[in-house]
Amino acid sequence: MIKLLRKHHRWLGVILLIVLILFSFSGIIMNHRKLVSGIGIDRKYLPRNYSYHDWNFAAVRSTEKFTNDSILVYGNIGVWLTDSLFSRFTDFNTGFPKGVDNHKISKVLKLNDSLLVAGSLFGLHIYDTTVKHWEKITLPENEENVVDLLLRNDTLLVLTRSNLFASTNYQTFKRIDLPAPAGYDNKVGLFKTLWVIHSGAIYGLAGKLVVDFVALVIVFLSIGGFIMFVNKKKLKDKEHREHKRKILKRQYQWNLKWHNRIGYLTIVLLIITTATGIFLRPPLLIPIAEAKVGKIPYTELDTPNPWHDQLRRIIYIEKEDRYIISTVEAFYYTDDHFNSMVRFEKQPPASVMGVTVLEEKGDHTLWVGSFEGLFSWNYKTDEIIDLIDNKRWIRPTKKGHPVGAHKISGYAAHVGNHPLIFDYDKGTNSTFNKERFPAMPKEVIDKNPMPLWNVAQEIHTGRIYQFFMGDFYILVVPLTGLFTLYLNISGFIIWYKRYRTKKNNIFKPQKAQKKD
């Protein structure tokens, strides 16, 4: 049994060497997004499917009219100024921190003739046309990830992933306490729980550093195991001189000693990190996607805010004097004063990754776009129309894949006489679009390399292998995770068996020698 485990452990470690090292370093990068936000990777060094074409990859979230003959185009490319015909583009990102990850804009609003406001991944920014420069505005609660903006009368509402803030002077903000919805059970999604455990964010920066250490341990064990594998092969070669054989043997023994020692000391952390990661990608994600569990006490999840990391979009329906707010789980409505948050009885299709389009179309109708598609939703009659496939949407009896055939990432209303949608993969190449949008200018492409964090994310989720594996890339994470669990457990069993045997030999009484 032990001999078989050794064989499996040795060969699995060699086979998974590169993948485990890539997983480890990409995980460390993902744990410190702000730290690496200024670093971008030229897309020419990446597989061709990561190249920009037709404004894909959420290059454009939406547009905002700036003057009578100019429009602001914004999204993952930052903010660009163009004319009404979209014939030329001018960089409008002066004042944002350097680095394309700092230019990921969720919303731009024109407040008045001299002021603009932009919400980004790393904060809220105000643009004064007299100084022509974006300036960051500090929000309460140290919130940074602004997901939506709304101007009602003279009040600016800023929606982050966890809170809603309001301001009339656009400089100082106060938090609006959104009440918990009816039936709130103070539970959190199992997926979210596993995510923060896997990343270490469950205990903030300290937890992330612990997981970073685990990642370095995996790298050390992987490289050390490979060195032992190679050295053992070389030791069997009798052509090596005695001096070289002694060096190889010392290297082998040193690596074996520390491979075993570090491995057994960190085995619990290794198993927890590996096991939680398996469920964060399909297909094992699907069965846990809607499961909820209690908040783990004394962790980052243990917050009294019922909307922590839940909020995504907000819109105001003037004729009904109500706000509609989308979260990662559902759509809610509330009155002018946010006295209650009521969940709509029936929900439109929307990806758990969040709503990307929320537009009022009158007569109790909203356009709802996400990675599940684009739909017209009458929240009074519950009639839902699939706008891309041009058919009535039938509510499925069971939850399916969280991503649909049309991954809607943006919407623009300032293009000709018809609205324009942006698909994450296809860009503007959709049968829905009746207007043409110009090709991406070379200047826009050249100034928008792929953020290092996103490259790490593609590696960590296994999507980087899609260019040669096709749809089978989806199996990289679960299979690697399962094999790594087997590596961890088999390694511990091998060490424990050897440790117990060695211990028993030390304390085993020696037989008395016979006298002559």
pLDDT tens track of the chain, all 516 residues? 888 999 999 999 999 999 999 999 999 999 999 999 999 999 999 999 999 999 999 999 999 999 999 999 999 999 999 998 899 999 999 999 999 999 999 999 999 999 999 999 999 999 999 999 999 999 998 899 999 999 999 999 999 999 999 999 999 999 999 999 998 999 999 999 999 999 999 999 999 999 999 999 999 999 999 999 998 888 877 666 677 888 888 999 999 999 999 999 999 999 999 999 999 988 898 888 889 999 999 999 999 999 999 999 999 999 999 999 999 999 999 999 999 999 999 999 999 889 999 999 999 999 999 999 999 999 999 999 999 999 999 887 776 666 788 999 999 998 888 899 999 999 999 989 998 899 999 999 999 999 999 999 999 999 999 999 999 999 999 999 999 999 999 999 999 888 777 666 655 555 545 444
Please give the CATH architecture assigned to the domain spanning 53-184+306-447: 7 Propeller (2.130)
Extract the tokens encoding 41. Answer: 């990777």
Closest CA to 348 of 397, 381, 384, 322: 384
Q: Is the dihedral of CA 123, 139, 94, 440 positive or negative?
A: positive
Q: What is the residue extent of each domain of the chain?
A: 1-52+189-302+461-504, 53-184+306-447
Q: Is the dihedral of CA 25, 26, 28, 29 positive or negative?
A: positive
Closest CA to 391 of 401, 383, 399: 383
Question: Is there a contact between 137 and 126 (Cβ–Cβ < 8 Å)?
Answer: yes
Question: Is there a contact between 260 and 495 (Cβ–Cβ < 8 Å)?
Answer: yes
Give the largest CA-CA distance in the chain.
114
Extract the tokens encoding 164. Answer: 């809603």
Q: How many CA atoms lie within 13 A of 289 on its CB side?
A: 18
